[in-house]
Amino acid sequence: MWSPPRTALVTGANRGIGLAIARGLAARGDVRVLAAARRIEDARAAAATIGAEPVELDLTNPLDAETTAAWLETTHGAIDILVNNAAVLVPGDGLQVSTKEFARSLAVNTVAPFALMHALGPGMQARGWGRIVNLSSGWGAFAEGMAGPAAYATSKAALNAVTCAVAQSLGPSVKVNAACPGWVRTRMGGSDAPRSPEQGAETPIWLATLPDDGPTGGFFRDRKRVDW
């Protein structure tokens, strides 16, 4: 049951889709938003514009991220909603990308979201309510041909798999889903993308505020389930 105010942690909330998600959640009036960014200065600048609380969260070291997430709960109270939005995009196909950059993509795009779920999911489960949204991509969907840059596509496919696994572990009271925002006009998506950050944020916000009978363990675009 929705019992406001809920507290949401949004990673990569300083710009693009993450900022749009954080703004949309804060605008509801029944969600307290922790706007996370790698640099506290960026988090503060974003949080000040949307009425959120800034937090520093570096995802390049997933073990540190897990420790920080646990610390956030002790200082800010229980976190009910986790939106894993932050990501890196490394260009190149399977032979062009370096092993170092491939590992960095997996660390930020897959292992760090898992670390945050590992830190925050059990508390949600114990309280009997939680929402976890993993920002994925059609480039990480086998059904769509894994057509993107190799490191990014592989890391998002792995994130989809983690979504399924954690959804099964946490049970029906904690809704764990992946969202494809589509091609969005951000620093990563470029200026030619057809969607605004606000349009890209619509499905993640919906998943972050699902009712108790909402889906879990799924992959969604435009509020419709899509194939993995």
**DSSP count for the chain of H helices, then E strands:** 7, 8
Is-catalytic flag, 152? yes
Supply the DSSP string of 87-125, one letter for each residue: -------TTTS-HHHHHHHHIIIIIHHHHHHHHHHHHHH
> Could you tell me if 116 and 41 are in contact, meaning their C-beta atoms sit under 8 angstroms apart?
no
- Exactly one of 152, 176, 179, 182 is catalytic; name it: 152
Residue for token pair 């091609």: 183
Backbone angles phi, psi at 9, to 5 degrees: -110, 120
CB 37 within 8 A of CB 52: no
Catalytic residue ranges: 152
